[in-house]
Amino acid sequence: MAGANTVTLTDEGFDSDVLQSDVPVLVDFWAIWCGPCRMMAPVIDEVANDYVGKVKVGKLDVDSNPQSASRYQVRGIPTLLLFKGGQVVEQLVGAVPKDKVVEALNGHI
């Protein structure tokens, strides 16, 4: 359920793929059964395409990877966390329009 420029993230690779990344990383915490998550999928893929080389965009299935969701106290999905330098610098919860995601990203690139 990820586009060509959207990476699939896992608990096992989270530290290396997200926390140690040289570029900001937008993580979409989602689940297949979540309607709002499915609504956000095209937005996430568009953002991934728009920000190639500037921001890494990834999706983390909370059912298959509960450790990362718990680690960052993700209580509702979809939750978007923007990591920069290994730290959360932005958080968006729920289905949000693309312009809100872009606004959050532009403040950190």
In terms of DSSP bridges, do strands 79-84 and 6-9 run parallel, antiparallel, or are they unpaired? unpaired
Going by C-beta distance under 8 Å and a sequence separation of 6 or more, which residues neighbour residue 53? 23
pTM for the full predicted model: 0.95
Q: What is the pLDDT of residue 2?
A: 67
Which residue among 9, 18, 26, 34 is the active-site one? 34
In this predicted model, what pLDDT tens digit does every residue of 77-103 receive, in sequence order? 999 999 999 999 999 999 999 999 999
Is 10 a known active-site residue?
Answer: no
Is 34 a known active-site residue?
Answer: yes
Which residue among 18, 26, 37, 55 is the active-site one? 37
